[in-house]
A and B are shown apart, each in its own frame.
Chain A
Amino acid sequence: VQLVQSGAELKKPGASVKVSCKASGYTFSTYDIVWVRQATGQGLEWMGWMNPYSGNTGYAQKFQGRVTLTRNTSISTAYMDLSSLRSEDTAVYYCARFPTVTSGLDSWGQGTLVTVSS
């Protein structure tokens, strides 16, 4: 199982960023994908989840209206789109596989650094 994320991004305040997460080693549509972010020196913060089979999503209240999770099942890739960026969004963004509510996040991407700066 491997999740490979897209490279680092530098964005200006107010812009949007789209991070990709390509899955391999398992059937992509079988397990949920979640997105977690971590600001420098800070803890893990859950952003949202997506079911790749149905496309159903759920978002943390903090990010409602600013984050959109999508997927392309033909290339086994999940996407996280975050809009109206501000400096506080500077963080490493991770995707992770989430088989069940009891299994934990059993496989993580390598992380994508998003820097928001004017």
Chain B
Amino acid sequence: SYELTQSPSLSVSPGQTASITCSGDQLGDKYTCWYQQKPGQSPVLVIYQDTKRPSGIPERFSGSNSGNTATLTISGIQAMDEADYYCQAWDSSSFVVFGGGTKLTVL
């Protein structure tokens, strides 16, 4: 089965840039999505099709995907960005696959 790997945690100071990575075999050949989940809330889609932002998602959220790694970049980090972030891809045999999640802490 297809697997996605994320680092468990990341700490960033306000105003700085956070880069959250997601790795998988030839992930660059698949489309990757990213979700933000705050405590007690449902996940929210923040990036789809590698680089696209849904309506209402701030421009400081961006994504890229190449080789074996997809990256979610959040620039100008704010306290409200503190959350868990999950990558997700679609695989023809495993269907919907999630990474294990990265807990982003804003110092």
Contacts and interface: CB of A to CB of B under 8 A. Distances in A.
Interface residues of A, number: 23
A108 interface: yes
Interface residues on B, range: 20 to 34
Interface stretch (B15-23, B72-80, B91-99): B91-99
Q: Taking each of A36, A43, A49, A109, which has the highest tally of chain B beta carbons within 10 Å of its own beta carbon?
A: A43
B98 A104 contact: no
A96 B86 CA distance: 15
Interface in B34-91: 35, 37, 42-45, 47-49, 54, 86, 88, 90
Contacts of A46: 95-98
B43 A101 contact: no
Q: Is the interface of B mostly helix, strand, loop or mixed?
A: strand
A92 to B, nearest CB: 9
A104 B97 contact: no
B27 interface: no
A118 B45 CA distance: 36
A49 B94 CA distance: 12
B20 to A, nearest CB: 14
Contacts of B43: 44, 94, 96, 105, 108
Contacts of B45: 104-106
Contacts of B101: 43-44
